[in-house]
Amino acid sequence: MKYDFDKVIDRRGTDSIKWAVKDNELPMWVADMDFAVAPEILSALRNRVDHGVYGYTEPQDDWYESCIGFHLRRHDWKIEKEALLFSTGVVPSISSAVRAFTAKGDEIIVFTPVYNIFFNSIVNNGRVIRDVPLLLKGGRYFIDFDGFRKAASDPKTKMLIFCNPANPVSRIWSGEELKEVARIAKENGILILSDEIHGEITAPGTSYVPFLKAVPEAAPYLFTCISPTKCFNLAGIQTSAIVVPDETLRAKIRRQINTDEVAEPNVFACLAAATAWSKGEAWLDECREYLFANRKAVEDFLVKRVPKIHCLPGDATYLLWLDIRAICEDDAVFADFLREKTGLFVSKGSVYGSGGKGFLRLNVACPRSLLMDGLARLEQGVSLFEKENRR
């Protein structure tokens, strides 16, 4: 490999949320990577730092052109320049959209288990979560279209917040599934917000399906949040885009993100994004290979050493969904036990809503040595847990 993903970088003492843990603890929870960014991005940021003046800034042509070119090359998805809005992050964009397009007391659909911050964006704005659990069949998740149809037909339901690909269940939705989601939404007059922040983290040789590419005719009731932050490890720089082809929707969301003061980039936000999109693809492709080799290492380890834990198959994200129900039905109890006894810090499945109980989410975006340390701790934790519960 041209790039070094095996290098262990000490992130303690850097104000990292992920690494704000005890000395003996190993964090494999929140979704950022323990890899240095692509050297092309680092070089661009260093040059900007060296300039020494950090005044107000706004997106320039290179930001638009790099975003458009990247998605056209990788997904054959043509994004028009006028459809793009800068935002400081996908979560702020989601919260702004909730305020722009719904009223207090309205219901917003989510397919659970799903990224838990969706719940915050709904509840913190006085809206109501309408939970439509995914169906788990043969170790793979599917959309419950009957359940979605029923929820969408309720007059109180105004929006669907959709995760594509799905976090935490690592699922790429097919074009046919996306078309059916769009059809039901149109029939019932609800808006779709598609969060596609994990879109670039897919197994080598595979691609996710951008919702607006699969169903371009849905533009009057569909818009998308994208960002280079997950795939290029830029979360702390706070940079994203909203793709809104429909002029009426775009006017409303533009007004709201400006009202919420999340429409203006910091001095590094557009530079980092534009450099990633225009010069970072070689790094990204190698990173994907490394991440999915990490996934394979986890799968093999569990089969051989901890067969009671099952890693559900997945083709997207660096977040693995582990079924621990053969050991403990209560994921919170087991996750807390793991952290206390072994120092391994993982995410509790129940925080992701219905269907998450009895599961853990494991972040494998780290050097292989840290991954194997985490797996050893997991094995130790299972052994200790079973000994204590046989007493």
CATH for 308: 3.90.1150.10
332 and 294 in a common domain: yes
One domain for residues 107 and 141:
yes
Q: Show which of 239, 256, 279 is a domain's final residue.
A: 279
Domain shared by 75 and 134, yes or no: yes
The answer to whether the beta carbons of residues 182 and 218 sit under 8 Å apart is: yes
Average pLDDT over residues 87-92: 98
Please tell me whether residues 202 and 191 are part of one structural domain: yes
Query: Tens digits of per-residue pLDDT, 102-133?
Result: 999 999 999 999 999 999 999 999 999 999 99
Domain that holds residue 72: 53-279
Residue 110 in domain: yes
CB count in 10 Å sphere of residue 209? 22
Tell me, yes or no, whether 142 and 286 share the same domain.
no
Boundary of a domain, candidates 279, 295, 311: 279
Question: Quick one: 248 and 119 in the same domain?
Answer: yes
Q: Where are the beta strands (DSSP E) in the chain?
A: 26-27, 84-87, 107-112, 128-133, 135-137, 140-142, 157-163, 191-195, 222-226, 240-243, 310-311, 319-323, 344-345, 347-348, 359-363
Whether residues 292 and 273 fall in one domain: no
Same domain, 31 and 155: no
- Is 0.75 topped by the overall pTM? yes
pLDDT digits 0-9 by tens, 280-313: 999 999 999 999 999 999 999 999 999 999 999 9
Domain annotation covers residue 73: yes
Domain count for the chain: 2
Exposure string (b/e) for 66-96, b if CB count within 10 Å is 16 or more? bbbebbeebbebebeeebbbbbbbbbbbbbb
Which of 221, 248, 279 is where one domain is finished? 279
Q: Does 273 share its domain with 316?
A: no
Question: Is the pLDDT score of 40 beyond 80?
Answer: yes
